[in-house]
Amino acid sequence: MKNRPFLERLGFAMFGISVAWRREHSFRTQVMIGIAATVFTAVMAPSLIWAAGVALSIALVLALELFNTALEILVDHLHPETAPEIKLAKDIAAGAVLVASVASVIVGALMIVAIVLR
């Protein structure tokens, strides 16, 4: 898989995103929230730095959700039985998504405050 042409690697990435979309309700939910946040940000017309902060927050949440999904798929394939350490690893990865989601909400709230105060 190494050193493949860019378009081929892009295809692999897009396939992975489409699999996550089909298999993971949480990913679909996060994408919908990201779209709503994007529309809200466009309507609020903040400064570019705030728009960039919102965009980065959305991207971080979606990237972590994809990573969490990949980890769960891999772990479930390699070790289908329930094991305490595997559950812990999956819970920690889900916690990473939660931390990024909370941080994104804080960025959005601060953006709103900044717009109201200007």
Q: Convert the pLDDT of each residue in 39-92 to its tens digit.
A: 999 999 999 999 999 999 999 999 999 999 999 999 999 998 989 999 999 999
18 belongs to a structural domain: yes
What stretches of 24-81 show up as alpha helix (H) in DSSP? 25-44, 48-78
- In sequence order, the 6+-apart residues with CB closer than 8 A to the CB of 1 are 12
The count of structural domains within the chain is 1
Q: Which domain holds residue 57?
A: 6-117
Q: How far is CA 29 from the centre of its chain?
A: 10
65 is catalytic: yes
Q: What is the pLDDT of residue 82?
A: 86
Residue type, 71: L
Could you tell me the pTM of the whole model?
Answer: 0.93
Q: What is the pLDDT of residue 65?
A: 97
Residue 66: which of 24, 7, 9 has the closest Cα?
24
| 2-36 tens-digit pLDDT | 789 999 999 999 999 999 999 999 999 999 999 99
Q: What is the pLDDT of residue 102?
A: 98
Half-sphere exposure of 32 (CA within 13 A, CB side): 7
1 belongs to a structural domain: no
Catalytic position from the list 24, 65, 81, 85? 65
Task: Compute the average pLDDT of residues 91-101.
Answer: 98
CATH number at residue 89: 1.10.287.3610
